[in-house]
Each structure stands twice: as structure tokens, then as C-alpha cells.
Chains A and B, each alone.
Chain A
Amino acid sequence: KQEVTQIPAALSVPEGENLVLNCSFTDSAIYNLQWFRQDPGKGLTSLLLIQSSQREQTSGRLNASLDKSSGRSTLYIAASQPGDSATYLCAVRGSGNTPLVFGKGTRLSVIA
């Protein structure tokens, strides 16, 4: 059964810093991996989706990488802003008609 782990569980950084969030998964036979953002009491916002054949995806200040063989992904946030404060969730989809399996998230606080 797929298990997704995110480290660290919480992170506090000063505004302007670059930071990396980590995600690991136990079963490398994945279809894709997705990073989401969730604000308190709100739903999910999809940030980046990486197909299993891809190594990375970029959107603005965000860059996500995928190393399927080692079961790892990272989300890099450049020049962090207070508005980036949220919980970041990593989710992995296996092959076939399987659902996304989520990690527990990293709660990010960017201090002005």
C-alpha cells in the first residue's frame, strides 16, 4: 500500500528566503505526483502536476522535481512571501484507476 511522507511537518521562514519541501513515497510505480496548497478551512489548490515520465515542472516561483526511482519529490519555493503561508500537500497516484494518496502536509509560515 502506497504511503506518502512529508518532511518537515512545519516550517517557519523569514520573507525572501528560498525553501524546499520534501515528499517521499514507498511505491515507485506511480502514474503522477501532484503538489497542492491548502489554506486554513479551505479546499485544495493544485500547484503542479508531474507525470511519471517527467523530472520537473515549474510555475512562477515554484519548481517541483520528481525522482521516481528513489521515491522522492521536492517543491522549491523561491523568494518566499507571507502570502505563501499555507499547508502544502504532496499526493501520489498509482497506476490504473487508483486515487491520489496524500501525505500529511507541511505547514509553512512566511514571516514578514
Chain B
Amino acid sequence: GAVVSQHPSRVICKSGTSVKIECRSLDFQATTMFWYRQFPKKSLMLMATSNEGSKATYEQGVEKDKFLINHASLTLSTLTVTSAHPEDSSFYICSAREGALQQFFGPGTRLTVL
């Protein structure tokens, strides 16, 4: 299947700092990318959907000014957690899809905010 990479795989930061997570589709053009968040022992919750070149669509309850999503190319999307706080500590997983094809997932990024 297609490959989606995420970087970094793990990040620890101080409260109040910003963290950027990159998501790349390695062998296909990701016309749509999705960002999910997973708290310990919980399921994946969709945060936002982004189409290349367009503004992201955020799910209810997700602050767009706090979670900045950029999808500037067909192979790269970034999620920036601004002014991170301990409650933002979570496992963030990106997913990418080319057109109507299957949705592929990255390996996830573990964010810990001290």
C-alpha cells in the first residue's frame, strides 16, 4: 500500500511553545489529508480535513487558531500546535488520500507538553 510518513515521531516541549508536525505522502498525491488525535486508551477523533490549496475544515470543538493546518502541496501537510499546554499532550495521526481511493495513515506523533 501507499506510504505516509510523519515527523517527528515523538516530541517533548515546554508549556507555551509551538510544535510543528509534518505529514508526507511518499508515493502518491494526497489531494485530501486528515488529522486525528488519540488520547490514551481512546479511539481516533478527527480534528480536521484539508484539501490541497484550500483552508482546512475543522471538526466541532477543535480550535482552528490553536491547531494550524497547512496543506500547501500534494505531498505535504503540517499541523502546528500553538502555545501548547499539558492538555494538548496526545497521539496525533495524519492520514492521506488520493481522490476517492483508500485512506492511508502515518505512524503517529507522540506529543508530550510539560
- State which residues 40-95 of B face A: CB under 8 Å: 42-46, 49, 51, 91, 93, 95
**Quick check: is B7 within 8 A (CB to CB) of the other chain?**
no
Given A99-B49, A104-B42, answer yes or no on A44-B93 (Cβ-Cβ < 8 Å). Answer: yes
Please state if B43 and A103 are interface contacts (CB–CB under 8 Å): yes
- State which residues 80-111 of A face B: CB under 8 Å: 89, 91, 93, 97, 99-105
21 CB < 8 A contacts A-B: A31-B100, A32-B102, A34-B103, A41-B110, A43-B108, A44-B44, A44-B105, A46-B1, A46-B105, A49-B102, A89-B44, A91-B44, A93-B103, A97-B100, A99-B46, A101-B46, A102-B43, A102-B45, A103-B43, A104-B43, A105-B43
A-side interface residues toward B, CB under 8 Å? 31-32, 34, 36, 41-44, 46, 49, 89, 91, 93, 97, 99-105
